[in-house]
Structure 1
Amino acid sequence: MEKLDLIIKNGNVVLPAGLEQLDIGIKDGLIHILGKNLLNESEKIWDATNQYIFPGMIDVHVHFSEPGREHWEGFHTGSQMMAAGGCTTYFDMPLNGIPSTVTEEALFKKANLGNEKSLVDFSLWGGLVPGNEGDLEALAKSGVIGFKAFLSATGNQEFESVDDITLLNGMKQIAKLGKVLALHSESAAMTDWLKEQKEKEGKFTADDYLETRPIMAEVEAVQRAIYYSEITGCPLHFVHISSAEALEIIQQAKARGLNITVETCPHYLLFNHQDLRERGTVAKCAPPLREKDEQEKLINLLIDQKFDMISSDHSPCPYELKDPKVHNLFQAWGGISGGQFTLMSIIELAVKHEIPFESVAKWTAQNPAERFGLSDRKGQIKEGKDADFAIVTLSKSFTVTEDNFYAKHKESLYLGHTFPCVITGTINRGNVVYENGRVMGSTPYGCWVKPVVTEIVSN
């Protein structure tokens, strides 16, 4: 047999059917062979004895802010952070760059920057905003992974939330384009009105913030979107669902045959509203962290396999927008910085609750690849697919510090948290991009990954 580029030996490989101790032979960026005791010559041997080989994580929900707001987070620092967390493909959301990714021109501008700077592979979301319905087809044909819209205020004047008519028109068109619409689902009417009431009363505490974004606001928006999906036939992906009641409605719709998937985020599973009370702005996000009893419900729903995938919703900003001394919590940026820690978070929950590692791989790699048209090359450890891996040991723990957190800005809800595992290596299409605590050089190994082309349905 021809010489291989890399052999990973003696690892516990996480396959869809469970764990199996196998060697992995890599050539030309692909998984060339899986087998026991591979004896072929190789340029390099990686000994993974007593370690776990997961498929590289696919994080479908991150906010890098390039172009225009690279000082928030850009492809260079952001992709290094993802690599340090075992992520080999991330999907960048369309809203925080200037311009936002709502036209074909903006899409190519962002893609070119990613190709120049990203350490690992990436895909790009397009946006649905008022006035860009005419841009959706070109965005779809050019390779967006799907479309994203907000049902409540975005906090970003370059990317407006959608009204109901824009949403319906957009959903009808997205269905014809064979794409998925990802939705931030909170009722704008409820959240805006409740926020206005609190501001009139001069109430700006953590409890006040939580009360302006109640579970019923998420539930109403989710239910409305599902009704619209039934009318238009548009596939939906609900992002960062934070309540059991909203998830129950989604499950009922899926049982009726609607084309829907749903994610939650590690911060809703590891943290709760008490963290916002105690730690302030660093724990502010939207939807907000819920009370402890709701957090426990979400963990049980995860155990019961009710979520399709887990994503970070990494949403960083400069320090001054998260200033912990700010009097008015409503004025602080609402986002959790933590894209590096998703895989470790779910492994922590798996260890604690005896969740099989193949479920972790399904939530973090297989299901995202299948949902968004990348399963021909990513999402599983299988011969012929991209050699994308996260190598993990449970023999050490990892405590988050400013020194080992690779994001541009070092404030995070995760600082000080200890995980019962360590990412010892990340490999993206055969390239070792992270090894034993170090990002391996600055070569931009990553490239723009487009989904399998879906035929556009004509009228």
Structure 2
Amino acid sequence: MEHLDVIIKNGKVVLPTGVSETDIGIKDGKITVIKKEITNDADLKWDANNQYVFPGIIDVHVHFSEPGREHWEGFHTGSMMMAAGGCTTYFDMPLNGIPSTVHQDALYEKAKLGNEKSFVDFSLWGGLVPGNEKDLEALVESGVIGFKAFLSTTGNKEFEAVDDLTLLNGMKIIAKLNKVLALHSESAAITNWLKKEKEKEGKYSADDYIESRPIIAEVEAVERAIYYSELTGCPLHFVHISSAKTIQKIEEAKQKGMNITVETCPHYLLFNHDHLRELGSIAKCAPPLREKEEQQKLISLLIDNKFDMISSDHSPCPYELKNPKVHNLFQAWGGISGGQFSLMSMIEIALNHNIPFETVAKWTASAPAERFGFSDRKGKIAEGADADLAIVTLERSHSVTEENYYAKHKESLYMGHTFPCQVVGTFSRGNLVFKDGKIVEQQSVGGWVKPTGYAAIK
């Protein structure tokens, strides 16, 4: 009888077909057997009685700012935070590092740091910015997951928004390379004009901020990107979509057979504009948290499967850039720190709306794996897949505190929020990296993973 590395016994395992009470056997980082009772010997046995075993989540949208801005968030603290939330693979965005990941040398520099420091697996986005179209093919051949571009002003001189000609030229190249372009979709013309109008009037409140980034700015940018995708054949992934009208445009494009996916983030589902009014800059993001009525529409769209996946858009910064005492919201950094909480957020929403846990696993694991080329080994609990697992109990709640939040900076919209569940264990390719509230003290075991068939199509 084969000796196994790990056996997880008596768990309620979240399989693609539903929840099943079964055991999981792990050997050499892979799931080797799933059956009712595994009697083999193992180096580690985990009793998951009354616990749910989810596939480790794949978060396709995080911002770890290393190299160059590790004091914002780096691979070490960032990956610990992800492990503590049941995330076993994350995709790091290209924009906040110095240099930004817009050419091959920068990609390799970032990958080296991640390989040295990450507790769980990661993949890397490349960037599309004015002037780097010639670098896109080398980035694909080196293993980027896809490309990210901004249709609104970034506020980051290392990673500028694309103009229309750069966007069209880049989309043509990305389509030829068989990759996906992820877009932050807010109209720069609309948002910049409205911001200047507010500043001329000396208006800087929460209500002024949301009025400067209206739903129409998101709709216009998405609609324009869809037109450009029709022209170029470029697959699109719309990030952090925040409004029902925008989803309507995306749905119409999908119905025409266009190659488009869309994500939203837990903070748009759990919170709303009242939290920005109450908390100030801690709750500032772009697009902004919407009014409560719009929040409810997003939850309904989620239940109706109009969102393909969930991502955190973890976007941290040092305290001085998020200081809630600053009354001019336009000056504060716009981003939500919360990468640790995506799985627990979706379980909370599932419990409140009678959503099956296998649907949560689809949003957080299998759909990202399928979209970005990992479904052969990640995203679901199956024999032969990587042993990436998140173990959750519903018998304990989890209240967010500075002590149990692993991010480098603790200023978060989620601080004080209580989830009706708790992540009690995380396995990354069979390695126990998080247990009962603590990172397991061992060398980081994560590494740079590349999608299947990532080489450029000639």
Query: Which TM-score applies when normalising by structure 2?
Result: 0.99
Rounded to whole Å, the distance in 1 between the matches of 2:23 and 2:154 is 47
Do the aligned partners of residues 370 and 120 (structure 1) sit closer, same or farther apart at CA in structure 2, a change above 3 Å counting? same
Give the corresponding residue for 2:351. 351
Rounded to whole Å, the distance in 1 between the matches of 2:455 and 2:312 is 30
Tell me the CA shift for residue 443 of structure 1.
Answer: 1.2
Give the corresponding residue for 1:395. 395
RMSD of equivalent CA atoms: 0.7
* Structure 2, unpaired ranges of 5+: none
Verify: 1:172 aligned to 2:177, yes or no.
Answer: no
Kindly provide the amino acid, as one letter, of the partner of residue 96 in structure 1.
N
Give the corresponding residue for 2:375. 375
Secondary structure of 1:427's aligned partner: strand
Secondary structure of 1:5's aligned partner: strand
Rounded to whole Å, the distance in 2 between the matches of 1:456 and 1:144 is 11
Rounded to whole Å, the distance in 2 between the matches of 1:86 and 1:323 is 29
Tell me the CA shift for residue 454 of structure 1.
Answer: 4.6
Secondary structure of 2:42's aligned partner: coil
Verify: 1:281 aligned to 2:247, yes or no.
Answer: no
Give the corresponding residue for 1:209. 209
Verify: 1:60 aligned to 2:60, yes or no.
Answer: yes
Rounded to whole Å, the distance in 2 between the matches of 1:82 and 1:442 is 16
Conserved 8 A contact 1:79-1:119: yes
Give the corresponding residue for 1:111. 111
Tell me the number of residue pairs that the alignment of Structure 1 and Structure 2 aligns.
458
Conserved 8 A contact 1:63-1:316: yes
Conserved 8 A contact 1:119-1:442: no
Give the corresponding residue for 1:151. 151
Rounded to whole Å, the distance in 2 between the matches of 1:282 and 1:456 is 41
1:246-265 to 2 correspondences below 5 Å? 246-265=246-265
Secondary structure of 1:44's aligned partner: strand
Conserved 8 A contact 1:55-1:390: yes
Rounded to whole Å, the distance in 1 between the matches of 2:401 and 2:442 is 22
Kindly provide the amino acid, as one letter, of the partner of residue 307 in structure 2.
F
Kindly provide the amino acid, as one letter, of the partner of residue 156 in structure 1.
N
Verify: 1:102 aligned to 2:102, yes or no.
Answer: yes
Residue deviations 1:46-78 (CA, integer Å, cap 9, x gap): 000011000000000000000000000000000
Rounded to whole Å, the distance in 2 between the matches of 1:272 and 1:13 is 33
1:115-194 to 2 correspondences below 5 Å? 115-194=115-194
Residue deviations 1:365-391 (CA, integer Å, cap 9, x gap): 000000000111100000001000000
Identity in percent:
74
Rounded to whole Å, the distance in 2 between the matches of 1:42 and 1:431 is 13
Rounded to whole Å, the distance in 1 between the matches of 2:195 and 2:286 is 13
Rounded to whole Å, the distance in 2 between the matches of 1:457 and 1:113 is 28
Rounded to whole Å, the distance in 2 between the matches of 1:418 and 1:26 is 33
Rounded to whole Å, the distance in 2 between the matches of 1:196 and 1:307 is 33
Query: Which TM-score applies when normalising by structure 1?
Result: 0.99
Give the corresponding residue for 1:245. 245
Rounded to whole Å, the distance in 2 between the matches of 1:25 and 1:454 is 30
Conserved 8 A contact 1:92-1:125: yes
Give the corresponding residue for 1:31. 31
Give the corresponding residue for 2:426. 426
Give the corresponding residue for 2:199. 199
Tell me the CA shift for residue 431 of structure 1.
Answer: 0.3
Conserved 8 A contact 2:61-2:313: yes
Give the corresponding residue for 1:76. 76
Conserved 8 A contact 1:145-1:450: yes
Secondary structure of 1:64's aligned partner: coil
Secondary structure of 1:169's aligned partner: helix
Give the corresponding residue for 1:412. 412
Conserved 8 A contact 1:4-1:40: yes
Rounded to whole Å, the distance in 1 between the matches of 2:90 and 2:41 is 33
Rounded to whole Å, the distance in 2 between the matches of 1:456 and 1:101 is 18
Rounded to whole Å, the distance in 2 between the matches of 1:109 and 1:406 is 24
Tell me the CA shift for residue 150 of structure 1.
Answer: 0.1
Rounded to whole Å, the distance in 2 between the matches of 1:155 and 1:415 is 26
Conserved 8 A contact 1:177-1:454: no
Rounded to whole Å, the distance in 1 between the matches of 2:331 and 2:219 is 25
Residue deviations 1:145-192 (CA, integer Å, cap 9, x gap): 000000001121100000000000000000000100000000000000
Rounded to whole Å, the distance in 1 between the matches of 2:184 and 2:213 is 13
**Which contiguous aligned blocks of 4+ residues in structure 1 show a shift greater than 2 angstroms?**
454-458
Verify: 1:220 aligned to 2:193, yes or no.
Answer: no
Conserved 8 A contact 1:184-1:238: yes
* Structure 1, unpaired ranges of 5+: none
